[in-house]
């Protein structure tokens, strides 16, 4: 069942630079592209084409769908998920003529570090640099970038710092650029409770526990983050295999410790992080999405609306849609990609 998209409750966009009124922009945005067909989540469970390419410090594994000369779309997964988040999304976009590329992030699936000497670094700037390196390796000048969870943060960073490489952005849960200094500030108790796994992974006991129980840990996160998503064991196991990557635990642990200021990043990325510390605006066409049953920590749309300074719209999805929105509501996610591509 295709979730209902609430466009009236939260139509937030900025088009001052183009001299467009809100109502004019909303009509142009909604009517500029065809409506994709509905799809039952889980219709597609694999990718026809899996490839590897050396890019930056990585040998990146990625799925590809659609024509080679199609408009490029990069779909970025998060933790603890993998490329199968986008199996249905990729099929929809490929059938519409897009070239869809879905990479395994560092520490997932078949992606490997080229050198054993490279730090197993999960900081946000490293993941964003990986995406730029992948685009360079595949000779992609500009692409639509889309993501959820870690992938949404990475997509936001690429759009903010390399706008010349980004045609449009689709981000689940909005503007997710992290600031470790702000991350050290305490939150109200109920909000802190939502981040229990971050504090757990900050300890040696947590690292060891995640290492010993990676799949069980991931399944717990899936259930908490998407309480109404009735995924089966086969769906989970397809993605959980990506977490068996030899660098996965180190990357995941470092990511959350870095965000709390408990682990250092690499000096290689200091310049990028300095830019991100100012919470730079995103000046490309963008659509943000939120499910009505997202059990993971996420900001309210009104809190980040002003960070988008180009054409922008926020869409709320109803129907029990949780954190893994591309896999739970693939038609709505793919439609956002098509819509932002036509602006």
List, for residues 180-238, the tens digit of each pLDDT value.
888 788 999 999 999 999 999 999 999 999 999 999 999 999 999 999 999 999 999 99
Q: Using CA atoms, how far apart are residues 128 and 117, in angstroms rounded to an integer?
A: 20
**What one-character-per-residue DSSP string does 213-259 give?**
THHHHHHHHHHHH-TT----HHHHHHHHGGGGSTTHHHHHHHHHHHH
User: Is residue 24's pLDDT more than 80?
Assistant: no
Name the token pair of 180: 């470790």
Q: Which residue has the higher pLDDT, 23 or 164?
A: 164
CATH 3.40.50.1820 fits 5-341, yes or no: yes
Q: What is the pLDDT of residues 311-329, one digit of tens each?
A: 999 999 999 999 999 999 9
279: region left, alpha or beta (phi > 0 left; psi from -120 to 50 alpha) = left
- Rounded to whole angstroms, the Cα distance separating 150 from 147 reads 8
- 225's tokens: 């983050």
Which pLDDT score is estimated for 93? 98
Say which residues have a Cβ less than 8 Å from residue 208's Cβ, sequence separation at least 6: none
Q: Report the pLDDT value the prediction gives residue 342, as an integer from 0 to 100.
A: 86
Given a cut of 90, whether residue 22 has pLDDT beyond it is: no
**C-alpha distances in angstroms, 23 versus 2, 16, 75?**
25, 12, 30
- Retrieve residue 142's tokens: 């500009």
> Hey, which residues does 166 pair with through a beta bridge?
143
Which residue's structure tokens are 């199968």? 84
Strand partners, 52: 61
Work out whether the CA dihedral 4, 9, 10, 11 comes out positive or negative.
positive
Stated as kind and residue range, the H or E segment containing 317 is strand 312-317
Measure the CA–CA gap between 91 and 68, rounded to whole angstroms: 14
Q: What is the pLDDT of residues 28-79, one digit of tens each?
A: 355 567 899 999 999 999 999 899 999 999 999 999 999 999 999 999 999 9
With cut-offs at 50, 70 and 90, classify the pLDDT of residue 286. very high
Q: Angle 214-225/233-240 helices, nearest 10 degrees? A: 120
Location of structure tokens 């998503």: 229
Q: Which tokens belong to 82?
A: 């993998």
Q: Pick the more confident residue, 27 or 295.
A: 295
Q: What ranges do the domains of the chain cover?
A: 5-341
Tell whether pTM > 0.75: yes
């Amino acid at each position: 069942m295709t979730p209902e998209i609430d466009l009236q409750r939260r139509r937030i966009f900025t088009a001052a630079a183009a001299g467009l009124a809100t109502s004019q922009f909303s009509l142009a945005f909604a009517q500029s592209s065809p409506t994709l067909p509905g799809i039952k989540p889980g219709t597609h469970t694999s990718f026809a084409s899996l490839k590897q390419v050396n890019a930056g410090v990585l040998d990146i594994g990625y799925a590809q769908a659609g024509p080679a000369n199609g408009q490029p779309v990069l779909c970025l997964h998060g933790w603890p998920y993998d490329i199968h988040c986008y199996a249905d999304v990729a099929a929809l976009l490929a059938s519409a003529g897009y070239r869809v590329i879905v990479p395994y992030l560092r520490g997932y699936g078949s992606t490997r570090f080229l050198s054993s000497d490279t730090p197993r670094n999960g900081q946000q700037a490293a993941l964003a640099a990986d995406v730029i390196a992948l685009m360079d390796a595949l000779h992609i000048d500009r692409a639509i970038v889309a993501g959820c969870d870690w992938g949404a943060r990475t997509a936001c960073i690429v759009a903010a710092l390399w706008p010349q490489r980004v045609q449009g952005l689709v981000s689940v849960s909005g503007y997710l650029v992290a600031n470790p200094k702000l991350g050290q500030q305490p939150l109200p108790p109920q909000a802190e409770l939502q981040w229990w796994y971050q504090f757990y992974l900050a300890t040696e006991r947590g690292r060891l526990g995640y290492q010993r129980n990676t799949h069980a840990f991931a399944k717990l996160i899936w259930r908490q983050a998407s309480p109404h998503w009735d995924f089966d064991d086969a769906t989970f196991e397809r993605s959980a295999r990506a977490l068996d990557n030899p660098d996965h635990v180190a990357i995941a642990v470092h990511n959350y410790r870095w965000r709390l200021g408990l682990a250092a990043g690499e000096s290689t990325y200091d310049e990028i992080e300095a830019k991100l510390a100012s919470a730079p605006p995103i000046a490309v066409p963008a659509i943000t999405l939120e499910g009505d049953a997202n059990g993971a920590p996420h900001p309210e749309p009104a809190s980040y609306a002003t960070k988008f300074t180009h054409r922008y719209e926020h869409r709320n999805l109803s129907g029990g849609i949780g954190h893994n929105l591309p896999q739970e509501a693939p038609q709505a996610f793919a439609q956002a990609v098509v819509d932002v591509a036509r602006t």
